[in-house]
Structure formats: structure tokens, C-alpha cells
Amino acid sequence: MKERFFAYVDERQRRYIDQLGEAVAIPSVSSQLDTHLPDIQKMMEYAANFIQRLGGQWELRDNPDGTSERPLPPLLLGHFPVDPRKKTVCVYGHLDVQPAHIDDGWDSEPFVLTERDGKLFGRGSTDDKGPALSWLWVIEAHKELGIDLPVNIKILYEGMEEYGSEGLFTFIRDEHDKFLGDVDFFCISDNYWIGKSKPCLTYGLRGLAYFELIVQGCEQDLHSGNMGGAVHEAMTDLIRLMGTLVDSQGRILIEGVMDDVKPVTPEEEAFYDPIEFDVESFKEEAKVKSISNKLLHGNKKDLLMARWRFPTLSLHGIEGAFSGSGAKTVIPAKVKGKFSMRLVPDQDPVRIEQVVRAHIAREFEKLNSPNKVELNMLHGAKSWLSSPDHPNYAAAAAAIQTVFQTTPDYTREGGSIPITTAFEEATGMNALLLPIGACDDMAHSQNEKYNITNLMNGIKVLGMYLHELGKIGG
């Protein structure tokens, strides 16, 4: 089967590119619903029609968070039932895109898929229209070749991912025992390789604890000429408190914050050595080249661990203080410092909040200030850690071995992909992050692209993954 499938896919390259071009041409920008809601609608229908042609069941489900004042794009539910005794995989993707305009610095029109040097440039090419269409091309190949699908396939595509996935989490909660009730595995193809040429599987994501630290010194803003020397200024306290959180080497200075951080196991450490990752070229991505040309960590393992498996703390800014250009001699009355921590296993946001609260109380006590202080945790989300040993991951690794003749890198990411945890928590089933785009695809940036090799190998990997899943008994 593999040879016929691969040969069929190879033959259809031009057609895949044309179809991806049709999808990219629809500017389904979810952050601009005012003007682009009809485009997202059109894009969802484009994929629904594809499923229709493939003989699948489908439904454009009204967005559960949409209202008449704020209509939202529908969710696309697809279903290719094969045999109830077989496993069921639910594949997730999104058909909306980030905004783009040629004046932002694109070398070609962002909504015209443009081929240059084996790369397909266009908004949404890699994020996430290419991967989302790939599942349908896999099914199409099976249909045309007369090969039975090895598992039942459910498709869940949304149109709001780039704007907070509005409605999706409500759907998952409501449908955990309905549309999602018989799902055995989830597969999400919406992140990227850590390198340019070697595939990877992503098994961990950091969580988040976002804080707002409020200090109030007076009822309204004052003038520093008249009142400087008279009042306990809120900014003085806030800046000093924020200064106790993290040092310039990125070390978190909050007592107890590292208590629950899992030690690095030898098995885990072994994942890092083979990873295709170049510290020097990462400096480009980190935008430090022309400033210091220095990162917090000079070697691959320390740097990746610092981004993936250790907590970090960033100071984001201050609300309520002077933030304009030029000079203003204001004593701000009430200021809100914003900072957040990226959390790792087994850090619980609830405990992190306690630890941060205790730290702030201790440090504020030292200031001997009569001002009012308040700490709010605005968001708390646990990190996510899967196991590369899980059959879902093993299936993907085997598929990659077949297509690339290599073991994938096992990677984590520093940010969160909330859908991952949402699927697992709602259903108890494993979610696999199976990236098929490369690290330099520039999702969200100018000149987003999708390599033709990634497009072609991606379809093959997704197809082989389904067959590996089909081998799983139970």
C-alpha cells in the first residue's frame, strides 16, 4: 500500500499546490471579523465541500459562543466512519489566518500563493491551511486508490484559532461525550519543527501564571513638582517589588517557586542530544544579533531546557503609569505591574499563586510603605506533558521513520497550545502534536511559507500515521 500511496501523492504535487493556492486566496483573517467573517465562512465551506466530495459526513456547526451582536464563524465537523470496532482519531486544524498586507514587508502578495525556490509563500500556507488540507488529501488518496481507511476519522476544524479559538472550548466541553465521545486519539498539526530539515514530535508545553500587582498611593494622579516629597509614591513601591522577582540572568528570585519543578531524568536528557537545533541561527530568531549577540545560555541543551522545561518569569509592563513619549512629571496614583511565569510539570498555578503572594507580602513588608498593595492572578494554566512512549506518539514516530528514515526529535515548546490540554481534559484521551512545517516557516510573520518538501512529506507522514494507528489493537 505504501508504495502506491507515495507514488500517487508524488504525482499530484502540482494539484496540491493549486488547491493550497485556492485556500490561501481566501483571506480568512479571524482578528478582523468586521471585514473578514464572510471570508472565514467561505473558507469553512471550501473545506466542507471537499469533505462532501470525498463522501464524508460533515456539518458546519453554529459557533456556540456566537451571538447576534457578535456572530462567529462555524466549526467544521467531519466524519469518515469505517468500522466501529476500529480506533477513531480526531484531527484538529484551523482555517483562519493572521492578518497580512504586502506593505508589511512581504516580497509577494500574501494572499496569492507564490512559488520561489521550492517554497510556497502565502499567508496560511503553513499555519494552518497546508496541514489542514493534508488530512483531506490523505483521505482523497485512499478513496482514489481504493484503499480502506485504517481508522475512523473525525475532523474538527475551526476558524477562530488566531483570535483565541472563541467557541471551540465551549464545543469541546459540550461535546466531550457526543462528537468527541468515541475518539481514541487526537492529532494536532499546528506547530513547527525545531529545525529546518528534521521532523519532530512535541510532547510538552509550558503553562502560565499571569499576575497583576497593584499599588495605590493616592486617589488621583499628582504633580511631582507640588507633591514630590509629600507622598509615598506608588511607582516607587511597584518598581522595587517588581525588581525582586527575577535577575538579569533570568533566575527567578521567588522563594519556593522551584520546589515542584521535576528533576531532569536521564531518559529526558537523552532526547536533547540528537535534536536538530543551531544556537547561532536561533539568535536571528531571538532578534539579539545586532544588540548583544548573546543568549541566556550558550549551549543547545541548556538553552532548550530553559525555554521548555524550566519556569521563567517575564516583566511585561505597567498599566496606569506614564507610557507615552517625551516627559510628563506625573506621580501616578495607582499602577498595575504585569508579569507572568511560564510553568512546567508539576507546578500548579494555584500553589504558584500562593508562593508569589507570600513573596510579595514579605517584600512589601520590607518597604515599610503605607500604600495599598494587591495581587491578582489573571490567568493560570498548567503545563502539559505527554509521553513519547504513548502508542499515539509511537505511531507518529513509526510514520516518520517510514517517510524520513529517521527517528524524530522529541521537543517541547515554551508557550501554550490550549487546545491540547482541552482535548485531554475533556476526554481523557492522548493528544499528539505532530508538526509538519519547518522552524523557518515564519508563521505570523511576513513571508510565511511552506516548503514543497514539507507539503509532500507531510501528506505521506499523516497517511502512514493513520496506518500505524490502525495497527493498534484493543
DSSP, residue by residue, 183-228: --EEEE--SB-SSSSS-EEEEEE-EEEEEEEEEE-SSS-EEHHHHT
The binder of 314, among Zn ion, its own copies, none, by C-beta within 5 to 8 A per type, is its own copies
270 CB-near residues (< 8 Å, 6+ apart)? none
- Of 315, 338, 319, the C-alpha closest to 212 is 338
Nearer Cβ to its own copies, position 60 or 295?
295
Q: Which of 96, 162, 409, 448 is catalytic?
A: 96
Nearer Cβ to its own copies, position 326 or 474?
326
Stretch that binds Zn ion, among 122-130, 303-311, 411-419, 453-461 (CB under 5 A): 122-130
Nearer Cβ to its own copies, position 239 or 394?
239
Compute the least distance from the CB of residue 297 to its own copies, in Å: 8
Q: How many residues lie near Zn ion (CB under 5 A)? A: 3
Nearer Cβ to Zn ion, position 29 or 403?
29
Inter-residue contact 126 to 115 (CB < 8 Å): no
145 CB-near residues (< 8 Å, 6+ apart)? 4, 5, 8
Round to whole Å and give the CA distance between 474 and 464.
20
The binder of 190, among Zn ion, its own copies, none, by C-beta within 5 to 8 A per type, is Zn ion
Radius of gyration of the chain (CA): 25
- The answer to whether 96 is a known catalytic residue is yes
Q: In what side-by-side order are the strands of the sheet with 114-116?
A: 114-116, 119-121, 449-451
The binder of 312, among Zn ion, its own copies, none, by C-beta within 5 to 8 A per type, is its own copies
Q: Which of 127, 161, 190, 448 is catalytic?
A: 161
Which of the 8 DSSP states describes residue 244?
T
Compute the least distance from the CB of residue 94 to Zn ion, in Å: 6
Which residue shows C-alpha cell 485531554? 424
Q: Which amino acid is at 150?
A: P
Peptide bond connecting 237 to the previous residue in cis, omega within 30 degrees of 0: no
96 is a contact residue toward Zn ion (CB under 5 A): no
DSSP, residue by residue, 444-469: TSTT-EEEHHHHHHHHHHHHHHHHHH
Stretch that binds Zn ion, among 25-33, 119-127, 367-375, 426-434 (CB under 5 A): 119-127
Nearer Cβ to Zn ion, position 190 or 268?
190
Round to whole Å and give the CA distance between 137 and 463.
9
Round to whole Å and give the CA distance between 117 and 309.
36
- The answer to whether 161 is a known catalytic residue is yes
The binder of 370, among its own copies, Zn ion, none, by C-beta within 5 to 8 A per type, is its own copies
Residue of 128, 158, 184, 409 interacting with Zn ion (CB under 5 A): 128
Phi, psi of 360 (to 5 degrees): -60, -40
Residue of 127, 233, 268, 448 interacting with Zn ion (CB under 5 A): 127
Map the footprint of Zn ion across residues 377-396, applying CB under 5 A: none
Stretch that binds Zn ion, among 120-128, 244-252, 301-309, 313-321 (CB under 5 A): 120-128
Nearer Cβ to its own copies, position 407 or 445?
445
Distances in Å between the Cα of 275 and the Cα atoms of 192, 201, 399 are: 14, 11, 18
Compute the least distance from the CB of residue 240 to its own copies, in Å: 5
Compute the least distance from the CB of residue 93 to Zn ion, in Å: 8
The binder of 321, among Zn ion, its own copies, none, by C-beta within 5 to 8 A per type, is its own copies
Nearer Cβ to its own copies, position 248 or 265?
248
The binder of 128, among its own copies, Zn ion, none, by C-beta within 5 to 8 A per type, is Zn ion
Map the footprint of Zn ion across residues 173-232, applying CB under 5 A: 190
Stretch that binds Zn ion, among 126-134, 148-156, 201-209, 330-338 (CB under 5 A): 126-134
Residues 173-193: b if buried by 16+ CB within 10 A, e if exposed: eebbeebbebbbbbbbbbbbb
Compute the least distance from the CB of residue 166 to its own copies, in Å: 16
Peptide bond connecting 128 to the previous residue in cis, omega within 30 degrees of 0: yes
* Positions marked catalytic: 96, 161
Judged by the rule CB under 5 A, the positions of this chain that interact with Zn ion are 127-128, 190
